[in-house]
Amino acid sequence: MPILLTEDVATLSGMVSIEDAEPLLAWLLAHDRPVDMADCQHAHPAVLQLLFCAGARIAPLPASPALRAWLTGEAASVVAFFTTAPKGIPS
Amino acid sequence: MMTLLEQFLAEAREALAQIDASLIALERQPGDSQQVTALFRLVHTLKGNSGLFDFPEMTRVLHAAEDLMDAVRASRLAYGPLLADCLLAAMDFVGLLCDRAERQQGSDAALQVQAQELAAQLRGLLPATSGDTVVNDAADAAVLPGAFCAPAHPRLPAVAWQFVSLAAERGETARLVIYRPDPECFFSGEDPLHRAMSLPGLLWGGMRECQPWPELAELDVFRCNLVFHMVSTASEAELAEHFRYVPDQWRQWELALPPRLSGQPALEQMLQTQREILQLDDAGVGLAGRLQAVTLVLASCLHAAGRDGEQGALQAAATHALAAAQAGPLLGWLDGAFPPAGSGEEELALSGSGTDAAPDDGQSYRSDEGGSRILRVEQGKVDRLMELIGEVVVAKNAMPFLAARAEHTYGATELAREIAAQYAVIKRIAEEMQDAIMQVRMLPVSFIFQRFPRLVRDLSRRLDKQVQLEMSGQETAADKNIIEALADPLLHILRNSLDHGIEDPATRQAAGKPACGTLSVAAHQEGDRVNIVISDDGRGIDPAAIRRSACIKGQIDEATAARLSDQEAINLVFAPGFSTASAVSDISGRGVGMDVVRSAVQKVQGTLTLESIAGRGTTIRLSLPLSMAVTQVLTIETDGQRFGVPMDAVRETVRLPQQSVSSFRDSQMVTLRGRVLPLLALNQVLGLTAAPRINADGELAVLVLGEGDARIGLLVDQFHQATSVILKPLAGMLGGLALYSGSALMGDGSVLMVLNPKEMF
């Protein structure tokens, strides 16, 4: 199950698809709680824009470096992240 | 032969010059509606032509300018200096693009941005109620609002710039890619994030909202409101490949590094200020604090210049200075580390070919370098040359007389021979010169025809139609005046045929025609005219539709419409502003077209007729005078005078025995090869009383003239040689003499009157 909604936390894991957007919207409207994306591999942009719009706190961040890179920081503004460490930059 | 592009560039420059002049004239007389129309046509034609080439920026700007001029023409918008400024800036930009095209430089990101800004600026001037201005240009559809017009100075986070600078150090060019997915893309199962994340050469990526976020409850989760910003080292081609399915949803710009401090004025200035502070000689109060402050600034400068390794030396110098309570050691270090300006600190060699290099608004883009290699000479100058060479040809004929005089009057045989030799040389040169000048003026119609295949190909592809172009008579030559005057009308006609005439394959097949339409363009010379026939086998013109459209536009009332014959109704297409097309495109359908075509043809004393059968096709015939064109004439003699007869009309020359002529009432005729040929004595036509001369064998010289199937035999005295002449139409009082096509100056300086064979029938 890619999305698990409880009273305390919304847990996104694996591949979160666009079908999960509506339940998540309902949950976000009702709860001001963090969203756990630790095990999330990829989230459909419909889901992400929902999180940005809600100003949701994402904690913990995805373990997947690529997704984390695109997400981290303040949602709803340009987020800078390293996706691949280029040659010459000590990581 | 000029290539199509060279020709376009030459014409574009000319058009730009005219547009500039018109704009400036309009500023003086804003109410001049003729000027407005002329300006609109210029912009319209230029835009249409630019569509033949891959100049999206040019077409985009011109299209916007055209819309603006259309609004001015329709009095929806008042002409004003602001409008003129914008249009002039746009035309300068087009000029710049022409220069680049000539130097074979492609477009770059800065130009694209520039084009978008100019187009947006022009469209911004359009009145708000311009709902009736239909814009369906592919180029314009691609201009996405908001997020795309961004980065004059892209606001990227520092970390992104860090990647840019690292890429630059590796010698790679970083590009900013902005990808704005279609808001509806989720419905087609797209995952734009995935596309963004898999961008080739991705260094950095981020996303943000396109439109401000609404309240969460009002958010439409299935509409994509994200825009992706990325920095990549991939080439333009790689990027284009990556976004090939969504070509209109992304843009890329080459990123120029923000000004680095080293070698930059900012750093120089800062160092200079520190130097001045250190040089203040008020020892004592505040010195220690000042030294510390300067040390801090210098440390930052070192850091900014990427010379952190020298921090130790700076600190040592600072400690020394503080201990000695003197600025000297620090100043010494400063001069050593950053030699004063002018001593050749190496400049950071990072080129800013991206947006930063774009010229500021109001600056002219027109460069003086790289001028045209094609010399466009004023028509009058060539005409003058032509007249002068005519005089030379006549004048040289005096030399043989001079030689004869030298020999007979003065007995100087040697001198006479030398004069004769010189005469031969001068004659040869004069003739070559005459030929060369004639060549300057003569152009084959292929000059215009050569752009048709591309035009037909491009347009038929764009319109999803199948069209086969057939051309003939390309070698038909005509005077440059005529050919040039024909270029635009013919293009308009072709565009119209493709756009409105030829149907799409499905419609054609339903109508029982082959799916592939045929468009034929044929040129041929007929006497003193060049005829060009353009015909298509398309849907033709429906007189009923024309009547309706003219009524709606208020050009005629319904009663008049009902009275018109079909042919008269069809001729309404020549009314100014007429168009049945409902949408404005960059192909045709603006209501400039047939009226422009006809007025352009009439300007060169040509005629234009249009025949159309609804469902079967349209044929447009243009007949143009040759004017200065070279005409082959047969010279004949009658009653001691020489005349020319255009070779095209000559079917044959025969000598017939006098006895074979039979008379019937007043007319004479002869049976030639089983066909009755009416005879006409040229002397009679010319009002001469002399009878046709009969040669020693008792034969009459008969010149058989043909016009279509009709034949007539003209009785003359003598046939002479055929020759090429420059036929000049008769002017003034003589111009009313229909019997003559014109006159020609012969090599010996005599004037040859050229008959108009059509008058003989």
Question: What pLDDT, in 10s, does the model give residues B3-53?
Answer: 677 778 888 888 888 887 777 777 777 777 788 888 888 888 888 888 777
Q: For residue A78, give its domain range.
A: 3-83
From chain A, pick out residues whose CB is under 8 angstroms from the CB of B157. Answer: 78-80
C-beta atoms of A84 and B163 within 8 A = no
Contact A90/B at CB under 8 A:
no
In chain A, the number of structural domains is 1
Assigned domain for A90 exists: no
B2-8: list long-range contacts, CB under 8 Å, 24+ apart.
B2/B374, B2/B447, B4/B52, B4/B450, B4/B451, B4/B454, B5/B53, B5/B101, B6/B373, B6/B374, B7/B447, B7/B451, B8/B49, B8/B50, B8/B52, B8/B53
State the nearest Cα–Cα gap between B237 and chain A, in angstroms. 21
In single-letter form, the type of residue at position B356 comes to D
Interface touch B205/A69, C-beta < 8 Å: yes
Task: State the pLDDT confidence band at B748, using cuts at 50, 70 and 90.
Answer: low
Residue A51 resides in a domain: yes
Give domain status of residue A88, yes or no.
Answer: no
Give the minimum alpha-carbon distance from A44 to chain B in angstroms, rounded to a whole number.
Answer: 6
In chain B, the residue whose alpha carbon lies closest to the alpha carbon of A43 is: B193
Note the pLDDT of residue B351. 34
> Model confidence over B578-611: pLDDT tens digits?
665 544 444 444 445 677 788 778 767 677 888 8
Q: Which of B73, B62, B44, B63 is nearest to B137 (CA)?
A: B63
Chain A to chain B Cβ contacts (< 8 Å): 104
Structure tokens at B64: 């916007």
Using a cut of 0.80, tell me whether the model's pTM lies above it: no
CA distance A54 to chain B (A): 6
Residues of B in contact with A91 (CB under 8 A): none
Better-scored residue on pLDDT, B582 or B667: B667
Please tell me the predicted confidence (pLDDT) of residue B655: 92
| ipTM exceeding 0.90, yes/no | no
Choose among B170, B204, B217: nearest Cβ to A81: B204
Average pLDDT over residues B655-667: 86
Q: Using an 8 Å CB-CB cutoff, list chain B residues near A48.
A: 193, 207, 226
In chain B, residues with a C-beta closer than 8 Å to the C-beta of A22 are 221
* Chain B nearest-CA residue for A67: B197
User: Is pLDDT larger for residue B561 or for residue B651?
Assistant: B651
Question: Who among A21, A83, A86 is closest to B166 (CB)?
Answer: A86
* pLDDT mean over B498-513: 86
- pLDDT the model gives residue B592: 53
Specify the pLDDT at position B643: 92
Amino acid of residue B30? P
A58 is a domain residue? yes
Q: CB B186 to CB A50 under 8 A?
A: no
* CATH code, domain carrying A11: 3.30.750
pLDDT of residue B586: 47
pLDDT in tens, B225-243: 888 888 888 888 888 888 8
Asked if pLDDT for residue B703 goes beyond 90, the answer is: yes
Closest partner residue to A45 among B157, B193, B203, by Cβ?
B193
What value, to the nearest 5°, has the Cα angle with vertex B542 and ends B540 and B544?
175
Residue A43: inside a domain: yes
The residues near B625 (Cβ < 8 Å, ≥ 6 apart) are B482, B528, B529, B530, B604, B605, B606, B729
pLDDT of B468 reads 87
Tokens of residue A77, six digits: 């503004």
Question: Is A76 part of a structural domain of the chain?
Answer: yes
**Measured distance CA(B473)–CA(B393) in Å, rounded:** 32
Would you call B186 an interface residue with chain A, using a CB distance cutoff of 8 Å? yes
Residue A30 lies in a domain: yes
| B125-134, B198-207, B213-222, B669-678 — most confident range | B669-678
Q: Which residue of B lies nearest to A71 if distances are taken between CA atoms?
A: B206
Residue of A nearest to B158 (CA): A80
Q: In chain A, which residues have their Cβ closer than 8 Å to the Cβ of B196?
A: 70
Q: How confident is the model at residue B644 (pLDDT cuts 50, 70, 90)?
A: very high
Taking 70 as the threshold, does the pLDDT of residue B58 lie above it? yes
Chain A residues near residue B170 by CB distance under 8 angstroms: 87-88
Could you tell me the pLDDT band of residue B701, with boundaries at 50, 70 and 90? very high
* Average pLDDT, integer, range B673-689: 89
pLDDT of B354 > 70? The answer is: no
- A interface test, pick of B184, B188, B191, B249 with most A CB neighbours within 10 Å: B191
A89 is a domain residue: no
Residue B179: beta bridge partners? B228, B250
